[in-house]
Structure 1
């Protein structure tokens, strides 16, 4: 399958251009791409429109590596009558009514009632807006309800939208444009808060919800910057979905679907410029329960997808750097400097096509060390915190490492997000978020008696960028 003529791409914002435009650093996962003179001419201004076989191959290579993203504004719209909107719902008549008010009548809408207490009331809400109503007499969960709706779809595309979401038809239309790329199976928007009650949890969720994947669009791949997309809103190609979601999974079914599609060779995209609004949980008890619920799904994902669910991805040099930082000895900084030098030297040997291989390798080494330290912080504070907390009772160095990691993580996240929340309460919410997720993660692995979801992915050897 090839990109159609007129398909436009541009360099992703976080791709670094070096050597006068001949070398690109970025992608998903990060890599180095050396362009030929012809390719550099085609991409001279950072954008490219497919006009022939040569430009098509270049656009395909760059978009498939995550170096570029589609310029959907230049693509023709896809008629909304080619998409069916499937809404799984259970006992949310007011939320369902709010969602249906904003949907375009050009779309066929199927409301799947997942065994509500009062299905007649739900049917009246759906009927008032001209939506088809599909009642299920047994509660099968969100994944099963979506699959039941999928079986009713007769259009080439489907939009799954949860009932606690508000999305405009224009947003669905913009997401549909991504499907001009015949390799794209599924695309998702950015999920932001619909509203909040002014509480400190509500303001934290507005800035750092688990469903908000950030302000940068990306190609979605396991163990990359954006590794999954939530199923709160997705638009997909029906013939790529097969039987749909795994209905046996109570949590993580959206991650499972994305990773299965990726393994089959499909592309999945996250479009941060398209926004849907979601009713976030803001009561402390429900919020903590939801965070733990998300963490509990990692063990089942590890059974299905192995190391893709690993909480960290490290090379031996990366692991050694993390150990040196954690040791906090006099030799730690010199050791980290030496390891950075070794990493730079090894990378430079595979970057001889660059005008400045050592400089480029040094840039990559800095990115690698930063990533390693960030992963170490997240392991200590989020994924491994139960073990770290026990160890800290006996080790002053581990206590110090936890304090440093918590302060650094709070400062970094606060600068990145600029939340409408004072530093103290933001720090408290951040640590509660990590604690709840980690508790759910350990509970899930305990129930399955398998620890694979807790183990880093240690990659032996250095891969050529």
Structure 2
């Protein structure tokens, strides 16, 4: 039986959720329709007017927050949370001093020296604070260091914080409020780059590797927020022990991606992981392009080992047939075929929507958005995993006439430039558009090279294979545990 969202929680409806009529909601991730029964309408009215007070409202609130139709607003914490902060560090005394100072001594802190070459420098920094220092004789990576620190924790909650982070006032208390929900295992803030005067640093401020954006979400593999990093994470200690394998919370075989593996194991075990971007923690990003690209390469190498552990969560691109056909026709400069496939996609979606008993208003706009997102996704996929082929196509496009050759160059260029230009136009970062676009392309290439390297080492091609979703709006029915509603979902 599903555990209701506890009394006192309020809801905020996701911006993409549509109230189609008094009894029908549409949205979520993946998209679905939620039809309310008479009891569900009563529960929905209670949730719109105030906090959860009844069991039915709690059950409906759980369904809404689990599916991404809405997001929880926990009641404010009544008492300070019992937490211990664990900071893994290796050869970063200056950053560690800044990190400790930002915490302000409000909570117990365990600093784990992961085999620093100058242990005295770190010891001096820790000695000037109220933190406890634990030293590892050899470096095992961040995951191993966090595990060592976790052995020292006796509080109900643990905060993982990297030494290159700078905390903000009240961030732990704000995130810990979510644990009023007994199913929440972990909550992450938005990790934003510290300001920098270099072009690489300015790029990272807009497109940082740990920044998951300004939209809150439940963390679910394959969704808009599929994981959260442990650079800054508040976790329920009991949940960590629940998913430990052979006594290890972090997989010791993973040098990178150990946090993704942990989050996905928590999800698989039935725990909830939340991303709350209203709370921010600052993070030191590389200030040189070499540093940015090297970091992205290393992150990419985790894809192969993660695919061995979570193969169903690793699709790099999910394609819907009709939008994909439309995009391919446009890239091939076949407007009649593109128009026909787009018309067919609208007709097919109209039929599906009518079968679900929904109004067809907005279907054309939705399918147009689907084509646009498919074009951006195909472009990024090609840049990450087939950049040499795209480059060769620009130089030697083939074709029997100059018009055809330049047409092919234009199609390839649109794939390379589509997402970087779109991102720059929406964010308007401090860095100029030329360096931003070139940096974005180099970023994708570096990450893709890391994925290729990781796949070779792990002997798997799973992170390279796109997934085709043949039934993008599959309709099914499911009951809310206390029966206030029925659901039609898409998967």
Post-superposition CA distance 1:19-41 (Å, at most 9, x none): 2x433232222322223354345
Maintained 8 Å contact 2:86/2:158? yes
TM-score (norm 1): 0.92
Instruction: Flag the structure with more relative contact order, 1 or 2, with Cα contacts below 8 A and sequence separation at least 6.
Output: 2
How far does residue 384 in structure 1 lie from its aligned partner after superposition? 3.2
Taking the aligned partners of 1:366 and 1:175, their CA distance within structure 2 comes to 37
**Alignment partner of 1:457 out of 462, 467, 473:** 467
Counterpart position of 2:159: 159
User: What does 1:54-69 align with in structure 2 at a 5 Å threshold?
Assistant: 54-69=56-71
Between the aligned partners of 1:269 and 1:164, the Cα distance in structure 2 is 23
Once residues 272 and 376 of structure 1 are traced to their aligned partners in structure 2, the CA distance between those partners, rounded to angstroms, is 28
Provide Cα deviations, 1:289-337, integer angstroms capped at 9, x if missing partner. 1111112211111121113111111243344344334333243322332
Q: Does 1:39 align with 2:40?
A: yes
Give the TM-score taking structure 2 as reference length.
Answer: 0.87
SS state of the match for residue 49, structure 1?
Answer: coil
Contact 2:175 2:234 in 1 (8 A): yes
Matches within 5 A, 1:294-313: 294-313=299-318
Query: Are 1:249 and 2:251 counterparts?
Result: no
Q: Corresponding residue for 1:146?
A: 146
Cα contact 2:4–2:55 (8 A) shared by 1? no
Determine which of 433, 438, 442 is the counterpart of 1:423.
433
How many Å separate the matches in 1 of 2:68 and 2:450?
32
- Of the structure 1 ranges 402-411 and 35-44, higher mean CA displacement relative to structure 2 is found in 35-44
> Offset of 1:164 from its aligned partner?
0.2
CA distance in 2, matches of 1:276, 1:269: 15
In structure 2, the residue matched to 1:443 is 453
Taking the aligned partners of 1:287 and 1:188, their CA distance within structure 2 comes to 23
- Kindly indicate whether the alpha-carbon contact (under 8 Å) linking 1:347 and 1:361 is maintained by their aligned counterparts in 2: no
Partner of 1:404: 414
Closer, same or farther: CA 314–274 of 1 in aligned 2, 3 Å: same
**Residue of structure 1 in register with 2:402 after alignment:** none
Structure 2: any 5+ residue segments left out of the alignment? 399-404, 476-489
SS in 2 for 1:153: coil
The runs of 5 or more residues in structure 1 that have no matched partner are none
For residues 169 and 155 of structure 2, what CA distance do their matches in structure 1 show? 17
Where 1:372 maps in the other structure, the secondary structure is helix
1: distance between equivalents of 2:38 and 2:388? 54
Distance 1:88 1:251, change over 3 A: same
| Counterpart mapping for 1:212-291 below 5 A | 212-242=211-241, 243=244, 244-291=249-296
Deviation at 1:17, TM superposition (A): 2.6
Shift in alpha-carbon separation, 1:327–1:389, aligned structure 2, 3 A = same
Question: What is the distance in 2 between the residues matched to 1:441 and 1:398?
Answer: 27
Correspondence list, 1:169-188, <5 A: 169-188=169-188
CA contact (8 A) 1:78 1:177 kept: no
Deviation at 1:390, TM superposition (A): 4.2
Report the CA distance shift for 1:246/1:208 in structure 2 as closer, same or farther (over 3 A): same
Structure-2 separation of matches of 1:41 and 1:361: 30
Conserved? CA contact 2:323–2:342, under 8 Å: no
Residue 204 of structure 2 aligns to a residue whose secondary structure is helix
- Of 450-459 and 374-383, the range deviating more from structure 2: 374-383
Query: Which residue of the partner structure matches residue 8 of structure 2?
Result: 6
Query: What is the deviation of 1:436?
Result: 1.3
Q: Mean alpha-carbon deviation: is it higher for 265-274 or for 380-389?
A: 380-389
Deviation by residue 1:46-83 (Cα, 9 ceiling, x = unmatched):
565110111111111111111111224x4324523x11
- Compute the RMSD of aligned alpha carbons: 2.2
| Alpha-carbon distance between aligned partners in 1 of 2:424 and 2:49, rounded to the nearest angstrom | 33
| Alignment CA distance shift 1:62-1:434 (3 Å) | same
Deviation at 1:283, TM superposition (A): 1.1
Q: Rate the CA distance shift 1:247–1:127 in 2: closer, same or farther, 3 A.
A: same
Cα separation, 1, equivalents of 2:307 and 2:49: 38
Distance 2:130 2:296 in 1: 36
Equivalent residue, structure 1, for 2:209: 210
Q: How far does the alpha carbon of each residue in 1:398-441 deviate from its partner, in whole angstroms, 9 at most, with x for none? A: 53322112343233212221211222122111111112112222
Distance 1:381 1:342, change over 3 A: farther
Residue in 2 aligned with 1:79?
A: 80
Say if 2:315 and 2:464, in contact at 8 Å, map to a contact too: yes
